Amino acid sequence: MSGRTRTQRFRLRRDSVPAARRHVEVTLRDWKLGEVTEAAALVVSELATNAVVHAKGIGEFFELTLRRRDGVLVVEVSDSCRWRMPEVAKPEPGPDDIGGRGLLIVDAITQAWGVRPRDEGKTVWAHLAVQGDSA
């Protein structure tokens, strides 16, 4: 089944990250997409954490959109910060660094990811393959 979309807003607070993960888990269970639930929850965790850390003070919310279409689960996290576009840390973080791995993880487990500006802010998106959906 393709063509479903679900969007939810969350406050830019640390406790919204686990709430966003739970939202992904419930939504994907409803959509019968168990095979991508763990990866999607991890992607959302990383992107939501980035929104909370980097956009706090600029806006009050981030928005999470899940979209199922043509063999792909599209995950989008939008916030109001447009001054800092996310990019993979270079050089890669060392073994003692406590941050800088989020987008490396997203890059490793998704088919593709990127960022696009919006009128007020940006949207970071990622694509995960959905088995059994028509291409």
Read off the pTM.
0.86
Question: Is the pLDDT score of 120 beyond 90?
Answer: no
From 38, 28, 43, select the one nearest 51 (Cα to Cα): 43
Do 64 and 53 meet the contact criterion of CB atoms below 8 Å apart? no
Going from N- to C-terminal start, the domains of the chain cover 4-129
From 66, 87, 85, select the one nearest 76 (Cα to Cα): 66
CATH topology of domain 4-129: Heat Shock Protein 90 (3.30.565)
Residue 47 neighbours by CB under 8 Å, 6+ apart: 75, 77, 102, 106, 124, 126
The answer to whether the bond into 91 is cis (omega within 30° of 0) is: yes
Per-residue pLDDT band for 102 (boundaries 50, 70, 90) equals confident
Question: Is the pLDDT score of 1 beyond 50?
Answer: no
